[in-house]
Amino acid sequence: MTSYKRMVLASRPQGEVVPANFRLEEIPVPALKDGEVLIRNHFLSLDPYMRMRMEDVKSYAAPQAIGETMIGGTVGEIVESKNPKFATGDKVIGMLGWAEMGVSDGALLRKLDTRNLPLSAYLGAVGMPGVTAWYGLTQIIQPKEGETVVVSAASGAVGSVVGQLARQRGLRAVGIAGGAEKCAYVVNELGFDVCIDYKAGNLVADLAKATPNGIDGVFENVGGEIFDACLARMNPFGRIALCGMIAGYEGNPTPINNVSAFLKMRLTMRGFIVSEHMDLWPQALTELGTLVATGKLKFRESVAQGLEAAPDAFIGMLKGRNFGKQLVKLV
Amino acid sequence: MTSYKRMVLASRPQGEVVPANFRLEEIPVPALKDGEVLIRNHFLSLDPYMRMRMEDVKSYAAPQAIGETMIGGTVGEIVESKNPKFATGDKVIGMLGWAEMGVSDGALLRKLDTRNLPLSAYLGAVGMPGVTAWYGLTQIIQPKEGETVVVSAASGAVGSVVGQLARQRGLRAVGIAGGAEKCAYVVNELGFDVCIDYKAGNLVADLAKATPNGIDGVFENVGGEIFDACLARMNPFGRIALCGMIAGYEGNPTPINNVSAFLKMRLTMRGFIVSEHMDLWPQALTELGTLVATGKLKFRESVAQGLEAAPDAFIGMLKGRNFGKQLVKLV
């Protein structure tokens, strides 16, 4: 290969993301300098955080630059190496973005062991989404046996792990997801105690029925009315891990109305970014890798084919059309 | 005295509290049983938490019963004792409610030392409001020298202590209060770095000017748009002690709109009730008492005369018409 495709940010979204915000380019494969490696990406991870980076606003990270390759996590294989730490054929995870290939000096690459785990799992349950679930649950919600935890976007890459880890710790795990099919999967395959279909239109009543002893922990991925409904059911000293508010990413306002619950129930809420807690990744990945390898932690993937399909897959994920971890297969 | 006056809850407020929600009664002084003491109350404390207790809703404490003496903290003097732990003339603090006298078995009474501190101070800076300020600042905001803390209701019983303790710990203390007179007091008498008059109509711009390095900690007493304005100025890893939301106590909705700040800035917010942290009261009261006795912690009182004046004083406090700690003098 002498050239490869990449997807750049063509323009910032005005409200909802549209395909025209992206542009596909074909660029030459560069010659490697000493210390560099060339990677052929096998999978690109699509994650909600990318939506925030497309905005030019003050946040935890610099915005994605216009005209540059869209940021993103990737797994792939070394196809050429001028770095003694990496050999051709090594499987690696990195942040090479929405691109079929990439060059790295190795600093942010990590070699992967694919003997017991599929390569794509390192972008999901045994990667950033899994560690996000692990961190929010164990470090912020700090669950105690017998408590009830509620997880929104329960069939997604993060939510699915939250509920399974909670069940393994002796908690009642209540999921919230969109549609009967996702809810059936959350209960029957992932083993949540119950899953509420927020699209059924009875969110408040269904949540009350699903949480007879109230709610002790919320792992929030969505925000908006789903979050407000949870706040109204919180027990004293409840904990809220604020991981995402995908309901608001497209510019929709997502106010919290039940603010007084924080006072009346002495709640704690903490927003977090998992990349700021690298010290805990080894511990989390050890638990997650072991659980996946032994079949005790299940996950599901939505796989789009080819870089050309990435914008539509990303837009669909923001609308909840994906089912499980959203990936793009690049080879 | 063979009888005394008390104020009972006549009806629950529908929206704003009105005088008709209270009823003054004259009742006979009861005969003491063994172990009991009779107390003549000198001061009644009026505090925002009472407003929440007037509602019949799920909260951290049972609602105030209709027809019963309004709850409230009091300081007074033992006038008769059948309890060996208390002698006539002892000064005590207790929760005897909106009443000129009261009977106690002594369990919830604490003897007060009035040699270096005025009796009323035990209901303010060296009492529940002072400990509330101390707890929220030291345990939740956990201030570091050089940081900026913002306090709403800054001239009030709690807010005034927050800012002074913050200054003593080397922080920039920014107050928010209603009116030029209160703001002048907050800066000139209490020593805050700056105080913003939210009634001046430039809250967002004034707050930006007052917090050139952003906000690291918020001690929230008010809620609503003041809180939202603070959220928009938070620095990464900011902490919010949610002590009260007086803006919403009269049934007004006080949504948070800047919810995404929690995520973008990885904020922590915790609601708290100081009576649940009795283990820290001795430490807090030692610091507060020493500071007041040595003139390093200042406070101001609004004193209504006589139990008959309590409802109007309480209603005025909810509207921000008081200036400093609101008390009712009962002798």
Q: Give A280-322 pLDDT, tens digit per residue.
A: 999 999 999 999 999 999 999 999 999 999 999 999 999 989 9
* A chain contacts of residue B58, beta-carbon cutoff 8 Å: 264
Q: Which residue range is the domain that position B314 belongs to? A: 3-124+300-329
Q: Which amino acid is at B293?
A: A
Closest by Cβ to A271, choosing from B267, B271, B273: B267
HSE value, Cβ hemisphere, 13 Å, CA-based, for B85? 13
* B chain contacts of residue A269, beta-carbon cutoff 8 Å: 262, 267-270
Residue A282 lies in a domain: no
Residue B112 lies in a domain: yes
Nearest to A42 by CA among A88, A102, A2, A87: A102
B61 lies within 8 A of chain A by CB: no
Please state, in angstroms and rounded to a whole number, the distance separating the CA atoms of residues B104 and B78. Answer: 10
Strands B325-329 and B37-45: antiparallel
Which residues on adjacent β-strands are paired with residue A27? A4
B29 lies within 8 A of chain A by CB: no
**10 Å Cβ neighbour count for B193?**
18
Q: Above 90 in pLDDT, residue A1?
A: no
Q: What is the DSSP string of B2-61?
A: -EEEEEEE-S--SSS--GGGEEEEEEEPPPPPTT-EEEEEEEEE--THHHHHTS-S-SSS
A58 lies within 8 A of chain B by CB: yes
Lowest model confidence (mean pLDDT) among A12-26, A79-93, A249-263, B179-193: A249-263
pLDDT at residue number B232: 95
**10 Å Cβ neighbour count for B21?**
20
| pLDDT confidence band for B245 (50 / 70 / 90) | confident
A265 lies within 8 A of chain B by CB: yes
Residue B286 lies in a domain: no
| Residues A271, B265: C-beta atoms closer than 8 Å | yes
Q: Are residues A246 and A317 in the same domain?
A: no
Strands B268-271 and B194-197: unpaired
* B chain contacts of residue A254, beta-carbon cutoff 8 Å: 259-260
Please state, in angstroms and rounded to a whole number, the distance separating the CA atoms of residues B76 and B97. Answer: 12
Q: In the predicted model, what is the mean pLDDT of residues A164-169?
A: 98
Q: Are residues A45 and A179 in the same domain?
A: no
Q: Above 80 in pLDDT, residue A59?
A: no
Q: Are residues B202 and B236 in the same domain?
A: yes
Express each pLDDT in B131-159 by its tens digit.
999 999 999 999 999 999 999 999 999 99
Distance from chain centroid for Cα B168: 21
Please state, in angstroms and rounded to a whole number, the distance separating the CA atoms of residues B30 and B27. Answer: 9
Lowest model confidence (mean pLDDT) among B56-70, B161-175, B265-279, B280-294: B56-70
HSE value, Cβ hemisphere, 13 Å, CA-based, for B100? 19
Q: Which amino acid is at A312?
A: D
Nearest to A157 by CA among A180, A134, A138: A134
Q: In the predicted model, what is the mean pLDDT of residues B71-78?
A: 98
| pLDDT confidence band for B82 (50 / 70 / 90) | very high
Helix (H) or strand (E) holding A186: helix A180-188
Q: In the predicted model, what is the mean pLDDT of residues B299-325?
A: 95
Strands B234-242 and B74-81: unpaired
| Residues B59, A259: C-beta atoms closer than 8 Å | no
Q: In the predicted model, what is the mean pLDDT of residues A11-25?
A: 96
| pLDDT confidence band for A79 (50 / 70 / 90) | very high
Q: Are residues A138 and A52 in the same domain?
A: no
Residue B280 lies in a domain: no
Q: Are residues B210 and B164 in the same domain?
A: yes
Q: How close is the nearest chain A Cα to the Cα of B311, in Å?
A: 24
Cβ neighbourhood burial of A281 (10 Å; 0-12, 13-18, 19+): middle
Q: Measured in Å, how far apart are chain A's first and last C-alpha atoms?
A: 13
Residue B284 lies in a domain: no
Q: Are residues B116 and B144 in the same domain?
A: no
Closest by Cβ to B260, choosing from A248, A267, A273: A248
Please state, in angstroms and rounded to a whole number, the distance separating the CA atoms of residues B165 and B180. Answer: 23
Q: Are residues A265 and A315 in the same domain?
A: no
For residue B246, the chain A residue with the least C-alpha distance is: A260
Please state, in angstroms and rounded to a whole number, the distance separating the CA atoms of residues B246 and B221. Answer: 6
**10 Å Cβ neighbour count for A213?**
11
Please state, in angstroms and rounded to a whole number, the distance separating the CA atoms of residues B99 and B27. Answer: 10
Q: Are residues A238 and A311 in the same domain?
A: no
Average pLDDT, chain B: 95
As a 3-state breakdown, chain A gives helix, strand, coil percent values, each rounded to 5, of 30, 25, 40
pLDDT at residue number B154: 96
| pLDDT confidence band for B203 (50 / 70 / 90) | very high
| DSSP-based three-state secondary structure for B145 | coil
Please state, in angstroms and rounded to a whole number, the distance separating the CA atoms of residues A225 and A213. Answer: 21
A168 lies within 8 A of chain B by CB: no
For residue A232, the chain B residue with the least C-alpha distance is: B58
Please state, in angstroms and rounded to a whole number, the distance separating the CA atoms of residues A204 and B248. Answer: 22
If you search the block for the tokens 């912020």, which residue do you land on? A140
Q: Are residues B163 and B258 in the same domain?
A: yes
| Residues B262, A253: C-beta atoms closer than 8 Å | no
Question: Could you tell me which residue, B250 or A22, shows the higher pLDDT?
Answer: A22
pLDDT at residue number B3: 96
pLDDT at residue number A33: 97
Nearest to B322 by CA among B163, B195, B177, B189: B177
Residue B288 lies in a domain: no
pLDDT at residue number A57: 77
Residue A294 lies in a domain: no
Question: Could you tell me which residue, A259 or A216, shows the higher pLDDT?
Answer: A216
Q: Are residues A252 and A136 in the same domain?
A: yes
Q: What is the CATH number of the domain that holds B172?
A: 3.40.50.720
Which two structure tokens, joined as six digits, stand for A58?
Answer: 């003050």
Residue B61 lies in a domain: yes
Q: Above pLDDT 90, what percent of chain B?
A: 89
Domain count, chain B: 2
Q: In the predicted model, what is the mean pLDDT of residues B106-129?
A: 95
Q: Above 80 in pLDDT, residue B57?
A: no
Express each pLDDT in A84-140 by its tens digit.
999 999 999 999 999 999 999 999 999 999 999 999 999 999 999 999 999 999 999
| Residues A256, B256: C-beta atoms closer than 8 Å | yes
Q: Are residues B119 and B133 in the same domain?
A: no
Which residues on adjacent β-strands are paired with residue A39? A78, A102
Given a contact cutoff of 8 angstroms between Cβ atoms, the answer to whether B125 and B157 are in contact is yes
pLDDT at residue number A249: 76
Q: Are residues B219 and B86 in the same domain?
A: no
For residue A262, the chain B residue with the least C-alpha distance is: B271
* A chain contacts of residue B252, beta-carbon cutoff 8 Å: none
Average pLDDT, chain A: 95
| Residues A52, B264: C-beta atoms closer than 8 Å | yes
Given a contact cutoff of 8 angstroms between Cβ atoms, the answer to whether A325 and A156 are in contact is yes
HSE value, Cβ hemisphere, 13 Å, CA-based, for B222? 24
Cα angle vertex B94, ends B89, B98, to 5°?
Answer: 105
pLDDT at residue number A76: 98
Q: How does DSSP classify residue A138? A: I
pLDDT at residue number A8: 98
A270 lies within 8 A of chain B by CB: yes
Please state, in angstroms and rounded to a whole number, the distance separating the CA atoms of residues B276 and B131. Answer: 12
Q: What ipTM does the predicted assembly reach?
A: 0.88
CB pairs under 8 A between A and B: 90
Q: In the predicted model, what is the mean pLDDT of residues B115-133?
A: 96
Given a contact cutoff of 8 angstroms between Cβ atoms, the answer to whether A25 and A4 are in contact is no
Q: In the predicted model, what is the mean pLDDT of residues B222-251?
A: 91
- Residue count of chain A: 331
Given a contact cutoff of 8 angstroms between Cβ atoms, the answer to whether B80 and B20 are in contact is no
Please state, in angstroms and rounded to a whole number, the distance separating the CA atoms of residues B190 and B151. Answer: 13
Q: What is the CATH number of the domain that holds B115?
A: 3.90.180.10
| pLDDT confidence band for B56 (50 / 70 / 90) | confident
Given a contact cutoff of 8 angstroms between Cβ atoms, the answer to whether A318 and A51 are in contact is yes
